[in-house]
Amino acid sequence: MTLGRTSMPDHAESRRPIACAADNRPSAATGGRGGATFSRRLVVAGLLAVAMAGCKILPIASEDEAAQQRFNGVDYVNKLWDTDVIPVVRDKAFPIETVLAAIEGGLDKAGSEFGHRPAEEGSPWSFVVKGTAVIKEKNTTSRAGTVLIDVMTPKGAVPVTIQIGPVIKGNSLRDAMPFINFQNFTNQLEFAEVGRAFNGRVVSELKTAVDALAPGQTIAYSGTFSLNSATDKILLTPVLIGPAGGGA
């Protein structure tokens, strides 16, 4: 009777050595996967140690320190106001009649003689002017409050709108200052911030004076305006304003 393999194991199979768990552990020497992984980890750890040795750990700046490093337009304007801005507006303003008459003869010619450009050619011309006039109207229904006057030139009366806020439009005060140029600032954001700061300073400085203005009153004023073309309406930002003879 012939016995099946299930009842009588083959002698070759019966002589196969029994492997233990320790025999199945791979090693780096034999090229096992576990050994290769272990070796790679050692290499990575070594590289990280070398990289970290060449690094300099810097502290993270606090929010207060970061704020101090940011540009502050209000501080910039406050530092310039009394020492630079007021002297220009008070002592170097041209009579508005003279400037408007020159503009009627050509904006670029008038600008090169009486005005200032803080940026490249083609940007608006800005002027620092002074004058006296009778207030025709005072408008405060809008937050962009105004008073209206007329300025006489050889070609007739030119209407001029003087801004009294609290909203001041444009950047003529910034742009008319001869010591300010766009190249002085890191970017457009800083330049715009300075413009807003100038307008804000005007509002705070002149609040009491503009509250007292009334139609029919004769005023003296010094301020700035900007023009893209000779036909633009005159929108003047005052720096000094008050009753005529009051030192504006």
Question: pLDDT tens digits for 98-129?
Answer: 999 999 999 999 999 999 998 777 789 999 99
For 130, the enclosing helix (H) or strand (E) is strand 125-134
Distance of CA 195 to the CA centre of its chain: 9
Query: Where are the chain's structural domains?
Result: 14-53, 71-243
Can you tell me the mean pLDDT for 87-105?
Answer: 96
What is the spatial distance between Cα 69 and Cα 196, in angstroms, rounded to a whole number? Answer: 20
Which superfamily does CATH assign the domain made up of 71-243 to? Nucleic acid-binding proteins (2.40.50.140)
Residue 220's DSSP bridge partners are 132, 242
Question: pTM for this structure?
Answer: 0.72
Reference 134, options 205, 59, 214, 25; nearest CA is 214
